[in-house]
Amino acid sequence: MVEFSNVSKTYNKDFEALKNINLQIDKGEFVFVVGASGAGKSTFLKLCMREEVPTTGTVTINGFDLNNIKKRKIPYFRRTLGIVFQDFRLIPDMRVYDNVAFALRVTGTKEKEVRRRVTHALSMVGLLGKTQSLPKELSGGEQQRAAIARALVNGPELIIADEPTGNVDPQMSLEIVELLNAINRSEGTTIIMVTHAHDLVKRFDHRIIALKDGEIIADGYDKEQILPTLEEDILAEEHAGYYAAPREMGAVEQFIFSYGKSDDAADAPDAVSDAEPDADPFDDPADEPAEGGDEQ
């Protein structure tokens, strides 16, 4: 279904956005793609949508060899995908019905069939009562559901959701992901969801592909192990310049990050108290002499 084989993408001859990516996503899978800003998620999406071509390696999606596909065939490839954007991307002066129908009309589908499929898609997302509304008359969550209906209506084999919860409130975010989950289960549609929302990711037991600096640093189902690693990086970014600490500093890093997480400075000693009694948090355990050895 989705196969990246030794894929690298370099921009301007010196910036490597993706480095030797190898992954395979099978039909019916639900995959979260996570990573900090600049990790390569956007480039990954662009390659999936054939907006870019890899510098090296091959990308195959839905049976299409995206390296060798002719330009005039690209629209036909995109019709096998459903794409959901963070900013919904509904046409502002078209009603919900027409926004969803649009994805069918580009394929020349007859109006009778359009009506049937649009009704079905809107019922799946719970927007049958809003067919004649304009996007500005909908809430963020409703707009995103309309966008999902548009992504669904062509019966795609793969839905790519690019930060679909980025512009909606937390409650609605959960509903959006649950909706995608339901689509994955009932229709067997493969879902790739790019997201920063780790809290949401934690609530599901789906496969997680973690990107960092253009590389896959984790690919699996162990969210307990994968997500904290990324969260530290995200936190390091947020506190860059003062609190950022290189990973090699072990206990010092632990102290700084645990201090930084708390708003109350008085809580700081609790982090230290988790360590051995009388331990100096600024001591690097690596400097401790080996047991039984004499200092000269």
Partner 1 sequence: MSKKTKLRKGKFNLRYLTREGFRNVRTHKLMTVASITVMVSCLILIGGAYLVWVNIQSVIDRVGEQNVIMVFVQDEATKEQEKQLQDQLNSIPNVSSVEYVSREESFSRILYNMGPSAGVMSGMEADFLPNAFKVRISDMDAFPSTVQTIQTLKNVLTVRQNGELASKLSNIQHSISLMGIAVAVILFAVSLFIIANTVRITMFSRSLEISIMKAVGATNRFIRWPFMTEGVIIGIISAIIAYAIIFLMYFGAQKVFAETFAILGNQVIPFEDNMWILAIAYLAVGILTGAFGSGISLARYLKEHGKVVDNE
Q: How far is the CB of 182 from partner 1 (least distance, A)?
A: 22
Minimal CA–CA distance to 151: which of 197, 201, 90, 65?
A: 90
Q: What angle do CA 130, 82, 152 make, to 5 degrees?
A: 40
Regarding 59 and contact with partner 1 (CB under 8 A), the answer is no
Provide the total of helices (H) and of strands (E) in the chain, helices listed first.
10, 10
Contact between 269 and partner 1 per CB under 8 A: no
Residues 202-221 interacting with partner 1 (rule: CB under 8 A) = none
Compute how many other C-beta atoms are within 10 angstroms of the C-beta atom of residue 290: 5
Measured in Å, how far apart are the chain's first and last C-alpha atoms?
64
Contact flag: residue 170 with partner 1 (CB under 8 A) = no
Nearer to partner 1, 162 or 256 (CB): 162
- Residue whose CB is less far from partner 1, 107 or 225: 107
115 in contact with partner 1 (CB under 8 A): no
Complex with partner 1: residue 86 or 144, whichever CB lies closer = 86
Using CB under 8 A, which of 8, 56, 60, 131 touches partner 1?
Answer: 60
Q: Smallest distance, Å, CB 266 to partner 1? A: 39
Helix, coil or strand: residue 18: strand
Exposure on the CB side of residue 293, measured as CA atoms within 13 A? 7
Q: What whole-number distance in Å separates Cα of residue 129 and Cα of residue 121? A: 12
According to the binding rule CB under 8 A, does residue 85 interact with partner 1? yes
Per-residue contact track with partner 1, 25 to 54, x per CB under 8 A?
A: ------------xx--xx--xx--x-x---
Query: Is position 162 an interface residue for partner 1 (rule: CB under 8 A)?
Result: yes
Q: Write the burial class of residue 197 (CB in 10 Å: 0-12 exposed, 13-18 middle, 19+ buried).
A: buried
CB atoms within 10 A of CB 287: 6
Number of residues that bind partner 1 (CB under 8 A): 42
As to burial, measured by CB atoms within 10 angstroms (0-12 exposed, 13-18 middle, 19+ buried), residue 145 is buried
CB of residue 271 to partner 1, shortest distance in Å: 34
In the beta sheet, which residues pair with residue 190?
Answer: 158
Q: Does 76 bind partner 1 (CB under 8 A)?
A: yes
Our finding on whether 63 is near partner 1 (CB under 8 A) is yes
Burial class for 42, CB neighbours closer than 10 Å (0-12, 13-18, 19+): middle
In this chain, which stretch among 23-31, 90-98, 129-137, 277-285 interacts with partner 1, using CB under 8 A? 90-98
Residue 154 in contact with partner 1, rule: CB under 8 A: yes
Please, which residue, 47 or 218, has the CB nearer to partner 1?
47
Residues of this chain that interact with partner 1 (CB under 8 A) are 37-38, 41-42, 45-46, 49, 51, 60, 62-65, 72-73, 75-81, 83, 85-86, 89-93, 102-103, 105-109, 150, 154, 157, 162-163
